[in-house]
Amino acid sequence: MANLPRDPLATLPNITELIEQDGQITLGHVTPIGCVAVANDEDNCLAALKRRPGESLQQLLVRLDAAIARAWDDDYFADEING
């Protein structure tokens, strides 16, 4: 546990901001897709990502954080789930 940052969310600023603004993220298993991470605010699904083979949960969350930033900055909404 000594290697963990004091605040693990400090490395995920966009997820933190989204949640503070009443948005939400959902992590879970969806059959037949597998592990997914979804971020949405009141109006939009900002990102829907599928966990890649060999990808850690931390890596998935880092990608989700980056996808949230891209949605906010560039109006690009990543969707790896619905094709």
Q: For the chain, what are the domain ranges?
A: 24-79
* The two structure tokens encoding residue 75: 């109006």
Q: How far is it, in rounded angstroms, from Cα 13 to Cα 30? A: 26
Kindly give, in sequence order, each residue whose CB lies less than 8 Å from that of residue 38, ignoring residues fewer than 6 positions away.
25, 26, 27, 45, 47, 48, 49, 81
What's the confidence (pLDDT) of residue 64? Answer: 98
pLDDT at 13 over 80: yes
What average pLDDT does range 65-81 have in this prediction?
Answer: 97
What average pLDDT does range 10-23 have in this prediction?
Answer: 93
What's the confidence (pLDDT) of residue 11? Answer: 83
If you search the block for the tokens 């880092």, which residue do you land on? 62
Instruction: Give the angle subtended at the CA of 19 by the CAs of 18 and 23, to the nearest 5°.
Output: 70
- Residue 5 DSSP symbol: -
What's the confidence (pLDDT) of residue 9? Answer: 66
